[in-house]
Structure 1
Amino acid sequence: LDPSFNAFLLKISNQLSEEQLNNMKFLCRDTIGKRDMEQIKTGIGLFQILTERRKLGTDDMGLLRELLTQIQRYDLVDKVKYFETFQMSTVNQPDTKENAKLDIATDVIADNLGRNWRKLGRKLGLTDVKLESISKRHPTELDRTVIELLREWRKNRGAEARIEDLIKALRDCEFNLTADKSYFRPQSHGDLGKRCLATSKTPWRSMSGRTV
């Protein structure tokens, strides 16, 4: 793991009281199991197990934020959010407008893709090893799995990540309905809707059912 991430977790651990740690352990009991729960004496011990079980990582701090929120340590929640923002700012990214389009498409795809996420992942160029790693992070939460998938793709592509490439991959997988939803929802961002309409492989139907 990134040494800065480990140092950050250590700082969070040092600011937890014994009662707060016990409450966090209780909230994670189904994930860590009774035996391991009894052996955890520090926050860093809890974080280590969550990391080993792929519930916590530099690109997946949602569970940590949720736990800290549940024990009402909102000051630490803010620190986690700041760390996440800092991590993202160090990654080469597309411009703000393109990022906004990709953010919207990510939400749409997460809501619609379901169990077909591996097929899309392979089309986007992710390895089977990476896909297996993603699947273990959220084995029962498909929407979060899809978000992780698209986050990995965007990280790999960096500044070259484009909404058009994402839509093309969806169409190549024959996920045309999801592609249509992802394409047409971001019309508020400039002329994206017009460009998408011009390049779409399938006709778009108006509310009346007429092909346009």
Structure 2
Amino acid sequence: MSSLDFNTTLLDISNELLGDQLDKMKFLCKECIGKNVSEKIDTGFKLFQVLMERNKLAADDTDFLSSLLTGVGRDDLARKLGDCEPGLSLDEEDKAERAKLSSASDVIAQNIGRNWRRLGRKLGLTQVKLESISQKFPTDLEETAQELLQEWRKAQGGKARTEELLKALRDCHQNLTADKVEHELALCTEH
């Protein structure tokens, strides 16, 4: 990903942050930015600039910002940030695959339920990563599944494919969910 694409994504995220969410994010990272600097930050983008200066944020290292966004209840923005895969050249085929992965992720998150760990293991995520995901969303299975799929996509980078998701679902005996994903993808290609 180019620095322009990354900065554009950060600007989009900054524009969607509410004032109290920004205040909460500043509170969560006050130790790394300092009180004096924190008081001068009035936009998300200014916060992101400080985080970059402190080596807490880069195009290939978005974990800290992602955890801040999740901490203030903006999982949607954390996912948007997670969709920024470094080094990925987005030609038309890549864009189509990302759209398919996004649709598939939504269907899986809505349907996988308590079997998300089994799916995570089939997708090659470590037990430590699965435990970390579990702790982020202890009571929300749909958000847990979304986080799982985001982590898998991040680990796979540009090699993430819907076919691999479908195979993992079938290997977990989640055939109904796999069928729903295939149905959703068929609907997407028709339009």
The interval holding the TM-score normalised by the smaller chain is 0.5 to 0.7
**Counterpart in the other structure of 1:104:** 103
1:58 to 54, 58, 65: 65
SS of alignment partner, residue 190 of structure 1: helix
Letter in structure 2 aligned against 1:91: P
Greater RCO between the two (CA within 8 Å, min separation 6)? 2
Letter in structure 1 aligned against 2:175: N
Aligned CA-pair RMSD = 3.7
**Runs (5+) with no aligned partner, structure 2:** 1-9, 32-62
So what's the TM-score if we normalise by structure 2? 0.60
Displacement, 1:102? 0.7
Displacement, 1:174? 0.3
SS of alignment partner, residue 72 of structure 2: helix
**Counterpart in the other structure of 1:135:** 134
Partner Cα distance (1:171, 1:186) in 2: 16
Partner Cα distance (2:166, 2:79) in 1: 27
Letter in structure 2 aligned against 1:64: V
Give the direction of change, closer, same or farther, for the CA distance of 1:187–1:84 in structure 2 (3 Å limit). closer
**Runs (5+) with no aligned partner, structure 1:** 1-7, 26-42, 50-55, 67-79, 192-212
Letter in structure 2 aligned against 1:112: N
Contact 1:126 1:153 in 2 (8 A): yes
So what's the TM-score if we normalise by structure 1? 0.54
**Counterpart in the other structure of 1:161:** 160
Between Structure 1 and Structure 2, whose CA radius of gyration is higher?
1
Residues paired across the two proteins, number: 140
1:45 to 27, 51, 59: 27
Displacement, 1:92? 3.9
